[in-house]
Amino acid sequence: MPLAALLLALSQAAAPTEAAVRALVEGAFRKNTGFGFRSFTCSGMPAPARAGFIDCDAVDAEGDALHYTLSADAAGQVEVVHVSQPAAALGADDRALLEPPCRAFLEAYGKGDWGAAYATLHPALQELMGRDGLQTRLEPVRAVLGTQRAVALRLHSLRLPDQRELEYTLTGAGGPGVARFRLAQAPAGVRIVAFSLSPEAGSAAQAALLEPALRERLSSLLGVKVDRLQAPLAGLRRPGDAATGSALLAGGREVMIQAQQTGRRDDFDVDDYTVEVTDVPFLVERYLRGRGAAVTGVECPERVLREGTAETCRATVPGGARSLTVARRDGQHRVTEEAPAP
C-alpha cells in the first residue's frame, strides 16, 4: 500500500497519552484503508507541558509493520510527521524510481570516489556543501566502517508533506552502518536532497567515530587539548541517552565529563551529540581563574552533581578562602559566589 495513503497530518488538542495517540493515528489509517491495527505501542511520550517527539510501532490487520513519528507541542497537540515501513512493502515501480541515486552514492562511497558520489546529489545540495564538504563528512565514517561488504535496503518512508526517504543497512569490515537518503525530483531525474551515513547506533564503530569528534569539541570548549576521552559512547542510541566518563587533559589532569545524544538520527542533522564537563571542583576553579583569582585548591562535597541538586564548595586562594555554590539544572551548571562576611 502506498505510504501516501497511510500518512495524514493530525492536530488535535489532547493529552499525549498512548491511547490518545493511537486513536488519532488509527482513525486516520482506518479512514484510508478500511481496517485498523492489531497492535500499537509508543515510546518517548513527552512529560506534561513539554514538547518532543513520540515514536510508535504499529502492526495493521494485514500483518504489515509501520513506524510512526509524531511531534507534540507543550499544549498537547500532536501530529504525524513521518511514517516508515520495511523495504518489502516498497513497490517495484517506486524502487526503480528511488533506489538508483542511493545505490550509486553508496557504490561511490565504498570506492572513495567522491566525484561520483557528488554527482548523485540534487543541485541545491551540491551548492550547499560542495564536493570537498562531502568528502570531509564521509572520510571519517569510511575510515571507521572500513571496506564495504554489503548494502541492503531496510526501510522506506514518507515525511510530511511529500518527501520520500530510504534507509539502508551497511556491512563494513569495521562494523555495521546505516545510510539514510531524502529524495526529490531534479532536472536530471531523482536526486538526493539530504543524506546521513554513520555507524549503527549502539555499535563499537559508533564509539570509535564519536570519541575523536567529542574530544576535539571538548578541547575547543576548554581551550586545552584533550588527550583522551573515556565513556561508554556505544550506549548512546536515542535522544536523552547520556554516557558519563572522564577526559584526560594535556598536562595529566583528569576531569569528569558527560556525553549526551541530543538529536534524532533520522533528521539528517549531523550535530546530534554534546559533551560537557561535570567535574564540580574543576568548574569552580575555572570560574575563579576566569576572574583573575589564583586558586590553590577546591573542596566540594560531591565531585559530580545529580540533576536538580546544588552544593557549596570551598576554594583556597591567597589570603584566605572563598565559598561558592554550584547548581545543576537542565544539564547546565551555574556557579555563584557568596558575598564575604563584613
DSSP string, 106-140: HHHHHHT-HHHHHHTB-HHHHHHHHHHHHHHHHHH
Topology of domain 90-199, CATH: Nuclear Transport Factor 2; Chain: A, (3.10.450)
Confidence (pLDDT) at 77: 80
* CA distance to 170, 293, 295, 303, per residue, from 317 (Å): 56, 7, 5, 19
Percent of the residues in the chain that have a pLDDT greater than 70, as a whole number: 93
Confidence (pLDDT) at 79: 84
Confidence (pLDDT) at 15: 52
State the pTM of this model. Answer: 0.84
CB 197 within 8 A of CB 133: no
pLDDT at 303 over 80: yes
Residue 216 grid cell: 576535539
What count of Cα atoms within 13 Å lies in the side-chain half-sphere of residue 231?
A: 32
> Which one is predicted more confidently, 80 or 227?
227
Confidence (pLDDT) at 47: 65
pLDDT at 166 over 60: yes
- Strand partners for 320: 317
214 confidence band (pLDDT: 50, 70, 90): very high
Whole-angstrom Cα distance, residue 279 to residue 137? Answer: 32
> Which one is predicted more confidently, 238 or 181?
181
pLDDT at 109 over 80: yes
229 confidence band (pLDDT: 50, 70, 90): very high
Q: Over the stretch 23-78, which tens digit does the pLDDT of each residue have? A: 989 998 999 899 999 999 998 776 665 778 889 999 999 999 999 998 888 777 88
Domain ranges across the chain: 3-85, 90-199, 201-277, 278-342
- Stretch 305-328: mean pLDDT: 94
Q: What is the mean pLDDT of the chain?
A: 90
DSSP per position, 227-296:
EEEE--GGG--STT-EEEEEEEETTS-EEEEEEEE-S-TTS--S--EEEEE--HHHHHHHHHHTTT----
> Which is nearest to 322 in space by CA: 278, 254, 332, 291?
291
